[in-house]
Amino acid sequence: MNTQPQNNDDQFKILLTKGMSEIPDTNFENKVMDKIIFAAQHEAEHKKSIRLSWMFLSLSTLFFPMGILFFLQKLNLNFSDIFGRNLGNTQQFIVPAVVLLFSILLLLQVDNLVRLTLRTRYS
Amino acid sequence: MDDSYIRDVLNGDTGAFRFLVGKYKNRAYNLARSLVRSDLIAEEATQDAFVQAFKNLRKFKGKAAFSTWFYRIVVNESLKKNRKKKLQFVGISESEIGETIPDIYSHAIEPFHEEEQRELIEQVLEKLKETEALLLKLFYLEEKKIDEIVEITGLTPSNCKVILFRARKKFAEYYRLKVNQ
């Protein structure tokens, strides 16, 4: 004969324990661990990509203006050679335009990268 | 116990998470099953909950028990799966408090086999609303206090008490009917 539990709370606990079912899939743990290992690898790669993005952004910030200035100097020389006259006015127009475009592009990239970095860090 | 494994995981030992999976898989599955009412979807929700828990483990500050924090994720993942059914945590009137809950042990299920007992209780739980079944399991199986259940479900404390009371009453009634069938 069964000993009757002390109170209703005990009765509920006993009954609900009897009603507990186990996960049918015996391979559940391995499946979850596979997903977790994949997630961990993905996260590590994601962080690495962000670090590389920052590095290339820094390098391009440094070298792109230098390259443009160098190119414009060369361009100016070539135009002078071709047309036989100084294109100083054209260069005066092109440089600010390039600087403006580059600044906008740079700000957009920095903004995106900061958002991505923060989201990765705090998500 | 959980804390040391959590620390190991945070220190880069992904394999240590297996301990937490092994410990909580069936409990999480049972909670998910209360909400989604399907073995397959409950299993998916449990898997997703573990992956989410792993990804967000750094957010776990140890203020509450790991189980409380994790069950919140299980509930969220189950609700995500259940969104099509538009499950809502519905409160009920306070007037229901004060009614008595029938004694259930007098209708013993001991003559049933273990598997039959499990199926019978499962059938009774399925008669309850998702939230009611969830709260019963959290309170009795997981032995969570009301404030922890509040944290897990997002319900108000008074709502929790009312739903729990109603769930106990309904469970006892349905159970008595089933056993007498």
Q: How many CA atoms lie within 13 A of B22 on its CB side?
A: 8
Question: Which residue from A12, A24, A37 is facing B39, i.e. has the nearest CB?
Answer: A24
- Using left for φ > 0, alpha for ψ between -120 and 50, and beta otherwise, residue B154 falls in left
Chain A residues closer than 8 Å to B173 by CB = none
A84 domain residue, yes or no: yes
What pLDDT score was predicted for residue A78?
56
What pLDDT score was predicted for residue A61?
87
Question: Which residue from A20, A23, A40 is facing B43, i.e. has the nearest CB?
Answer: A23
pLDDT band per the 50, 70, 90 thresholds, residue A24: confident
CATH of region B2-85: 1.10.1740.10
Q: Which of A13-17, A28-32, A80-84, B91-95 has the lowest mean pLDDT?
A: B91-95
Contact B168/A at CB under 8 A: yes
Could A20 and B141 be called an inter-chain contact, meaning their C-beta atoms sit closer than 8 Å? yes
> How far is Cα A6 from Cα A32, in angstroms, rounded to an integer?
40
Q: Where does B65-156 have alpha helices with state H? A: 66-81, 114-127, 130-136, 146-153
Domain count, chain A: 1
What pLDDT score was predicted for residue B63?
85
A78 domain residue, yes or no: yes
Report the residue of chain A nearest B51, measured CA to CA.
Answer: A36
What pLDDT score was predicted for residue A123?
62
A3 domain residue, yes or no: no
What are the residues whose beta carbons fall under 8 Å from the beta carbon of B70, sequence distance 6 or more?
Answer: B20, B24, B28, B49, B53
- Using left for φ > 0, alpha for ψ between -120 and 50, and beta otherwise, residue B109 falls in alpha
Could B25 and A37 be called an inter-chain contact, meaning their C-beta atoms sit closer than 8 Å? no
Angle, vertex CA A22, rays to CA A19 and CA A26, nearest 5: 165
What pLDDT score was predicted for residue A110?
93
* Mean pLDDT for the stretch of residues A53-80: 79
Instruction: List B residues 53-92 in contact with A (Cβ-Cβ < 8 A).
Output: 54-56
Copy the structure tokens of residue B1.
Answer: 């116990």
- B94-180 matches B2-85 in CATH topology: no
Question: Which residue from A16, A35, A39 is facing B137, i.e. has the nearest CB?
Answer: A16
Q: What are the backbone angles phi and psi of residue A4, rounded to the nearest 5°?
A: -75, 130
**Higher pLDDT, residue A98 or A117:** A117
> How far is Cα B164 from Cα A121, in angstroms, rounded to an integer?
39
DSSP annotation string for A66-119: HHHHHHHHHHHHHHHHHHSS--HHHHHHHHHHHHHHHHHHHHHHHHHHHHHHHH
**Higher pLDDT, residue A121 or A32:** A32
What are the residues whose beta carbons fall under 8 Å from the beta carbon of B9, sequence distance 6 or more?
Answer: B16, B17, B20, B54, B57
Could B137 and A15 be called an inter-chain contact, meaning their C-beta atoms sit closer than 8 Å? no
- Give the length of chain B: 181
Chain A residues closer than 8 Å to B121 by CB = 15-16, 18-19
Residue A108 class from Cβ within 10 Å (0-12 exposed, 13-18 middle, 19+ buried)? Answer: exposed
Question: Which residue from A4, A15, A22 is facing B121, i.e. has the nearest CB?
Answer: A15
The ipTM estimated for the assembled molecules is 0.72
Placement of tokens 């209780």 in the chain: B121
> How far is Cα A65 from Cα B69, in angstroms, rounded to an integer?
51
> How far is Cα B155 from Cα A21, in angstroms, rounded to an integer?
26
What pLDDT score was predicted for residue A87?
57
What pLDDT score was predicted for residue B98?
44
CATH of region B94-180: 1.10.10
Q: What is the pLDDT along chain B (181 residues), one digit of tens a residue?
A: 788 999 999 998 888 999 999 999 999 999 999 999 888 999 999 999 999 999 989 889 888 899 999 999 999 999 999 875 554 454 444 444 445 555 555 555 555 677 788 888 888 888 899 999 999 999 998 999 999 999 999 999 999 999 999 999 899 888 888 877 7
Contact B47/A at CB under 8 A: yes
A7 domain residue, yes or no: no
Dihedral of CA A20/A25/A30/A36: which sign? negative
Domain ranges of chain B: 2-85, 94-180
Domain boundaries, position A54: 26-122
A12 domain residue, yes or no: no
What CA dihedral angle connects B37, B39, B43 and B44, to 10 degrees?
A: -70
A11 domain residue, yes or no: no
CA distance A91 to chain B (A): 53
Chain A residues closer than 8 Å to B15 by CB = 33
- Residue A85 above 70 pLDDT? no
What pLDDT score was predicted for residue B87?
47
Contact B92, B162 (CB under 8 A): yes
**Higher pLDDT, residue B95 or A104:** A104
What pLDDT score was predicted for residue B115?
76
A13 domain residue, yes or no: no
